[in-house]
Amino acid sequence: MTETPLDTAHAAMEAAPDSDSARLRFYERLADSEMFLLLTREIEGDRIEPEIFDLSDHRFVLIFDREDRLSQFVGRPAPYAALSGRAVTAMLAGQGIGLGVNLEVAPSSILLPPEAVDWLSETLGHGPAETEAQVSEVSAPKGLPEVLLGALDTKLATAGGFARHAWLAGVTYADGLRSHLLAFTGTLPGAEDALARAVNEALVFSGIDAGALDVLFLRDSDELAARLARVALRFDLPQPEIAEAPPARPAPGSDPDRPPILR
């Protein structure tokens, strides 16, 4: 069976039980993955009823990162809802319900108790803070941990279509404050909050306690965008494929050299 990103992250966590960063990356993959939640009945309108099991002194709902894994566990056709891991944790937070992930059907099989679900939901709920500052200088990024660069690369790969590029650079503001900046260009209108949260999560789940990364949205024509293009590290976000329209068929009789055939 093909290994999934969640399997890989779980294996890394199991191999390094004392590593906070490995554990954080597993939770990040869980939050970002599409999960299949086992239900008691088919969805009616916007109402879903997860199947709840009493296991290990807690109540649990079951989620799987592939449909065939859910089918393998149940052994029969069963209703389910396809939701992101973050949506599942938000739905369960504060209810004393844990998560059974890929139970008995994958190497990433694990029981997450209710307190882990609550922690993940709270962590994901911490959004970035908005401030205003005037950029004075930009420079090539220096001193950023490799784990953060990898986290950004992975996170931005899941944000395909939200922007075209992201530019990572060192920045000095007019008040003398130095930091690092991630600027997006070609941003889809309305996607700013999702992108800012994605960057914030990459920082949080990389395990950098005192890290900071400022986020900015620019037009391609902005002077600062040109300055960043000269010194910054560029990330290219995946772009959705646009299907080509089939060639237009001329209306019958519109070509004088090919009159319509009458039957």
CA triplet 124, 90, 148: central angle to 5 degrees? 20
Of 130-139, 150-159, 220-229, 248-257, the one with minimum mean pLDDT is 248-257
Helices (H) and strands (E) in the chain, counts: 8, 11
Cα–Cα distances (Å) from 148 to 25, 136, 140, 229, in that order, read 11, 25, 16, 21
3-state secondary structure 66-115: CHHHHHHHHCCCCCEEEEEHHHHHHHHCCCCEEEEECCCCCCCCEEECHH
Q: Are strands 52-55 and 80-84 parallel, antiparallel or unpaired?
A: unpaired
Q: Give the tens place of pLDDT for each residue, 90-128.
A: 999 999 999 999 999 999 999 999 999 999 999 888 766
pLDDT score at 60 = 96
pLDDT score at 15 = 95
CA triplet 7, 11, 16: central angle to 5 degrees? 150
Alpha helices in the chain (DSSP H): 5-15, 20-32, 67-74, 85-92, 114-125, 146-157, 192-205, 223-231
Residue 260: pLDDT band with limits 50, 70, 90: very low
Q: Give the tens place of pLDDT for each residue, 5-43.
A: 999 999 999 999 998 888 999 999 999 999 999 999 988
Residue 239: pLDDT band with limits 50, 70, 90: confident
The total of other beta-carbon atoms located within 10 Å of residue 122's CB is 12
pLDDT score at 205 = 86
Closest to 184 (Cα-Cα) out of 198, 204, 172, 173: 198
CATH topology of domain 135-236: Alpha-Beta Plaits (3.30.70)
Residue type, 37: L
Residue 261: pLDDT band with limits 50, 70, 90: very low
Q: Which CATH homologous superfamily contains domain 5-125?
A: Uncharacterised protein PF11572, DUF3234 (3.40.1350.90)
Q: Which residues contact 74 (CB under 8 A, 6 or more apart)?
A: 38
* Domains of the chain, residue spans: 5-125, 135-236
Q: Do residues 30 and 109 make contact, with C-beta atoms less than 8 angstroms apart? A: no
What mean pLDDT is predicted for residues 168-190?
A: 93
Measure the CA–CA gap between 118 and 61, rounded to whole angstroms.
Answer: 14
What mean pLDDT is predicted for residues 247-259?
A: 52
Tokens, residue 219: 């037009």
